[in-house]
Chain A
């Protein structure tokens, strides 16, 4: 059960990583003219607003499944990290906890800022919150993979 949920959590995280990275680059690119001729410019030239609802759902699912897995981390992984004296690994997970919580409570504002029709006054909010969420998602993903690598999935 634990391994299945961990795999599901990881797979949804990958989908979220793709969506939020696309949106983060597209929201910056939409402020300047982009000529979609290269891979990078095509990557950035999508409609960033199209991702927002999916991102809200994916963030909620990832944090919810992470919340279910969390007691296993505390009872299995964290004692192992402490036994190995891996304080930094413990620390990066503590930061992951805080970023997850801040990201979760920012979702309503993020969703509101991306509602159609887009409100021009919220342009800076859209860029800021999208990049905050993108940073959170990348950090959490890397830390999650790092800890699975240290402890193993079982």
Chain B
């Protein structure tokens, strides 16, 4: 049950972390596919455009892992059961709103 709680805390925080990561461009690293290289700081134009998605995902996983390690699992029983599906629904809606720029 404790493990279940930690897994749920991980998912919830990682979900929020991913949304913040792409919104604020908090990418743990950038992958420059033209050069097949990884950079931790933004490189010049010669390297081509970076892929940030891997870095956003890494940021989210890191945030989730830290939260799962430090947040007390008793919070799960109080808060998580409803938040666990409501929060992702809100975050998906936020992603749709964020990407509507492509359809205007």
Which residues of chain A have a CB within 8 Å of any CB of chain B? Answer: 67, 70-71, 74-75, 87-88, 90-92, 94-95, 97-99, 101-102, 104-113, 115, 119, 121-122, 124-125, 127-129, 132, 135
Residue of A at shortest CB range from B84? A125
Q: Is the CB of B96 within 8 A of A122?
A: no
A95-B96 contact given A71-B31, A71-B51, A90-B102, CB 8 Å threshold: yes
Q: Is the CB of A112 within 8 A of B4?
A: yes
Tell me the bound Cα distance from A125 to B95 in angstroms: 21
A95-B54 contact given A102-B91, A106-B11, CB 8 Å threshold: no
Which residues of chain B have a CB within 8 Å of any CB of chain A? Answer: 1, 3-4, 7-8, 10-12, 14-15, 18-19, 22, 31, 33-34, 49, 51, 53-54, 56-57, 60-61, 64, 77, 80-82, 84-86, 88-89, 91-92, 95-96, 98-103
Q: Is the CB of A104 within 8 A of B57?
A: yes
Tell me the bound Cα distance from A111 to B4 in angstroms: 9
Tell me the bound Cα distance from A128 to B96 in angstroms: 18
Tell me the bound Cα distance from A11 to B54 in angstroms: 24
Tell me the bound Cα distance from A71 to B53 in angstroms: 11
Tell me the bound Cα distance from A149 to B8 in angstroms: 38
Tell me the bound Cα distance from A92 to B4 in angstroms: 33
Q: Contacting B11 at CB < 8 Å: which of A88, A99, A105, A127?
A: A105
Residue of A at shortest CB range from B31? A71
Residue of A at shortest CB range from B52? A97
Q: Is the CB of A105 within 8 A of B61?
A: yes
Chain A hits for B22, CB < 8 A: 98
Chain B hits for A135, CB < 8 A: 92
Ordered by A's residue number, 27 sampled pairs between the chains whose C-beta atoms are within 8 Å are A74-B33, A74-B49, A74-B51, A87-B102, A87-B103, A91-B101, A91-B102, A94-B102, A95-B95, A95-B96, A102-B15, A102-B18, A102-B88, A102-B95, A104-B57, A105-B18, A106-B88, A107-B11, A109-B11, A111-B7, A112-B7, A113-B8, A125-B8, A125-B80, A125-B81, A127-B85, A132-B89
A90 CB to nearest B CB, Å: 6
Q: Is the CB of A125 within 8 A of B99?
A: no
Using A74-B51, A98-B98, A125-B8 as known contacts, list a sample of 19 further A-B pairs with CB atoms less than 8 Å apart, ordered by residue number in A: A67-B54, A91-B101, A91-B102, A91-B103, A94-B99, A95-B99, A101-B18, A101-B60, A102-B15, A105-B10, A105-B11, A106-B11, A108-B8, A109-B10, A112-B3, A112-B7, A113-B4, A119-B1, A124-B85
